[in-house]
Structure 1
Amino acid sequence: MSKPKFQTEWEEIDEEYQQLQETHKIYRQKLEELTNLQTTCSSSISKQRKCLKDLRYSLTKCSQKCDEKELKLITDIKSQIKEKGNVFFDMEAYLPKRNGLYLNLVLGNVNVTLLSDQAKFAYKDEYEKFKLYMTIILLFGAITCLFVLNYRVTDEIFNFLLVWYYCTLTIRESVLMSNGSRIKGWWVSHHYVSTFLSGVMLTWPEGPMYQMFRSQFLAFSIYQSFVQFLQYYYQSGCLYRLRTLGERSQLDLTVEGFQSWMWRGLTFLLPFLFFGHFWQLYNSVTLFRLGRRQDCKEWQVFMLALTFLVLFLGNVLTTLKVVHQKVQKNQEKIPKND
């Protein structure tokens, strides 16, 4: 007598279930092995770092009283120590580690390390798309507030969107840095300062001082979004070419500024950037003048003036430093005539 159809189906499902249990058991074992390997690697890196730090200190002391041959050897060892530090950085990008202070405050001690190159690149790609879409939204938002809807509530929505955007960028960038992205220097701090500035704009109450600065700020926001769109379009193309040639990491990002790798083919962006930087200075001067008026009572005016000044100084000094370093490098490459 043949089995009923439902019994055959049940037996097939039960057999697959048993296989699933075995597969999951193997998965759990491999996961435990992976965790043990991660712990071992992290401990070894910490130990190596400590030993190399002690050795570097000893070499520095020795270099003060040694001959030329030993000095050359010490220099070579120091160079290799520096290279090992870079290797450790790349290794740690694939190992769980404690979050920095900012991520701990926002997310808690959650492991944000992505273990595969594919996952890291997918997250970085999603970050870039988020920046592009939000830049376009903010551009149209500023245009709408300036030319169509002259209402306080729409300004508040726009300013809140700016606060949310920059807060989100700082979190996403912190996650990318935990996964090996070499974002550093002023361009990291820039978004924290921008978050603070947007927050102060959000709290600025309606009044004569606000209305005097409103149009200038919205016009600046339009220009800034336009330049950021230009930067994304051209930087992403340049980064793609450099990654293909193996000159840049897969986790390198587009930034709201100028870096050394942008020199070739992207120098046309410099006038746009400098104009935006000096517009920040103009905003600062305008706000300082408003703050000196007798009818100005809002603390936001002076705070915004100071913040725009910080942004101007940070952006201009960093850009000039990059340009100066690149010009010096190019001059060193030019063969000197006897």
Structure 2
Amino acid sequence: MSGQLERCEREWLELEGEFQELQETHRIYRQKLEELTALQTLCSTSINKQKRHIRDLKLALQRCKRHSSQEEAELIQQIGANIKERQNVFFDMEAYLPKKNGLYLNLVLGNVNVTLLSNQAKFAYKDEYEKFKLYLTIILLLGAVACRFVLHYRVTDEIFNFLLVWYYCTLTIRESVLISNGSRIKGWWVSHHYVSTFLSGVMLTWLCSVPAVLLPERLSLQTASPGGEEPPGPHEGFQSWMWRGLTFLLPFLFCGHFWQLYNAVTLFELSSHEECKEWQVFVLALTFLILFLGNFLTTLKVVHAKLQKNRNKTKQP
């Protein structure tokens, strides 16, 4: 019995030593965390101060440019180029500093710090975001086909459209987090998911009130909701993705865009049906048209820019 007690005493002393080390490690951690917070505040304050001074400098340069000589104009142009480069550096710096959330994130999450401080964490979050889009897109496509050809029930259509609303709402939140962490997602691909969220919500409300005589026309719209939206990944990575031996997907992409145009035309015709009294039909038609124009024109713009870039590389010796 005494031997067992001695072993317990030794184990407790070992645990006590480890606990003392843990306390010291935690004290150092808290100290470093306070130092990190102070450095973050200092960097953010300095960046804001630099931005204010640069803003004042740009106004002064604009006033000087009106009455400048050719030599002075060249100097002003050079300073302007340096200012533009400095602003890009500020953008990269701020990607690693806590910042206030935008209006949308504030409404959804509140004033929560969503900044990821390491490149590893940023890449991991972005990779998880891409996987989420890929898996959910496959599930939604299968669900759309099932609703169109197998499950001809109003309740399954409502569940499917509720899933679409949740999917696009989740995408907008995740993209906002990515933007807060320095991702250069911009332009149409950001607006696209807000428009798609609105479309799915309106579609869901319409399903609850559509007359039975219009059910066949309504069912034909199911296959358009999740598909034909955009290439995988945010717009910043589209060019590199599209030209890595995957250009064969472009025809499918354009088919999805024109399917949205087909749905817009179908809904515009449906809005004039004598049995169709719902406001959702015209709104859905207009929204599908907006999606088609945004997706089609943006994809054309990216393809044209990449082709132009390839031509310039070819012309260079």
Q: Same fold (TM over 0.5)?
A: yes
2:199 is equivalent to residue 219 of structure 1: no
Question: 1:51-78 CA distances to partner (integer Å, 9 max, x unpaired)?
Answer: 1111111112211211111111111111
Check whether the contact 1:260–1:323 (CA below 8 A) recurs between aligned residues. no
Question: 1:171-186 to 2 correspondence within 5 Å?
Answer: 171-186=173-188
Q: For the structure 1 residues 144 and 124, does the alpha-carbon distance in structure 2 shift closer, same or farther, using more than 3 Å as the test?
A: same
In structure 1, how many angstroms separate the alpha carbons of the residues matched to 2:312 and 2:8?
81
In structure 2, how many angstroms separate the alpha carbons of the residues matched to 1:7 and 1:261?
62
1:278 is displaced (CA, Å) by 2.0
Check whether the contact 2:185–2:234 (CA below 8 A) recurs between aligned residues. no
Equivalent residue for 2:61, pick from 59, 62, 76 = 59
Question: 1:212-266 CA distances to partner (integer Å, 9 max, x unpaired)?
Answer: 33332123347x27x86xx44xxxxxxxxxxxxxxxxxxxx34599658735644
Check whether the contact 1:257–1:319 (CA below 8 A) recurs between aligned residues. no
Equivalent residue for 1:158, pick from 142, 157, 160 = 160
Equivalent residue for 2:289, pick from 292, 295, 309 = 309
Gaps of 5+ in 1: 233-252
2:77 aligns with 75
In structure 1, how many angstroms separate the alpha carbons of the residues matched to 2:215 and 2:282?
16
2:254 is equivalent to residue 274 of structure 1: yes
Q: For the structure 1 residues 70 and 265, does the alpha-carbon distance in structure 2 shift closer, same or farther, using more than 3 Å as the test?
A: farther
2:98 aligns with 96
* Residue aligned with 2:293, SS: helix
Q: For the structure 1 residues 323 and 129, does the alpha-carbon distance in structure 2 shift closer, same or farther, using more than 3 Å as the test?
A: closer
In structure 2, how many angstroms separate the alpha carbons of the residues matched to 1:285 and 1:260?
33
Paired residue type of 2:253 = L
Question: 1:18-39 CA distances to partner (integer Å, 9 max, x unpaired)?
Answer: 1111111111111000000000
Check whether the contact 2:96–2:115 (CA below 8 A) recurs between aligned residues. yes
Q: For the structure 1 residues 52 and 257, does the alpha-carbon distance in structure 2 shift closer, same or farther, using more than 3 Å as the test?
A: closer
Check whether the contact 2:96–2:117 (CA below 8 A) recurs between aligned residues. yes
1:316 is displaced (CA, Å) by 2.2
1:15 aligns with 17
More deviation in 115-124 or 269-278? 269-278
1:288 aligns with 268
Question: 1:308-337 CA distances to partner (integer Å, 9 max, x unpaired)?
Answer: 11111212222233344445545555659x
Q: For the structure 1 residues 209 and 291, does the alpha-carbon distance in structure 2 shift closer, same or farther, using more than 3 Å as the test?
A: farther
More deviation in 29-38 or 57-66? 57-66
Question: 1:195-215 CA distances to partner (integer Å, 9 max, x unpaired)?
Answer: 000111111124246513333
Q: Give the total of aligned pairs.
A: 312
1:124 is displaced (CA, Å) by 0.7
Q: CA RMSD in A?
A: 2.4
* Residue aligned with 1:273, SS: helix
1:194 is displaced (CA, Å) by 0.3
* Residue aligned with 1:293, SS: coil
1:149 is displaced (CA, Å) by 1.3
Equivalent residue for 1:207, pick from 211, 219, 224 = 211
Q: For the structure 1 residues 309 and 34, does the alpha-carbon distance in structure 2 shift closer, same or farther, using more than 3 Å as the test?
A: same
1:274 is displaced (CA, Å) by 2.4
Paired residue type of 2:131 = K
Check whether the contact 2:184–2:236 (CA below 8 A) recurs between aligned residues. no
Q: For the structure 1 residues 23 and 335, does the alpha-carbon distance in structure 2 shift closer, same or farther, using more than 3 Å as the test?
A: closer
1:127 is displaced (CA, Å) by 0.6
Paired residue type of 2:166 = W
Equivalent residue for 1:319, pick from 293, 299, 314 = 299
Equivalent residue for 1:188, pick from 190, 195, 198 = 190
2:278 aligns with 298
TM-score, structure 2 normalization: 0.90
Check whether the contact 1:186–1:314 (CA below 8 A) recurs between aligned residues. yes
In structure 1, how many angstroms separate the alpha carbons of the residues matched to 2:148 and 2:120?
42
1:87 aligns with 89
Check whether the contact 2:267–2:282 (CA below 8 A) recurs between aligned residues. yes
Check whether the contact 1:257–1:315 (CA below 8 A) recurs between aligned residues. no
Question: 1:102-132 CA distances to partner (integer Å, 9 max, x unpaired)?
Answer: 0000000000001111111111111111111
Paired residue type of 1:190 = H
Q: For the structure 1 residues 210 and 82, does the alpha-carbon distance in structure 2 shift closer, same or farther, using more than 3 Å as the test?
A: farther
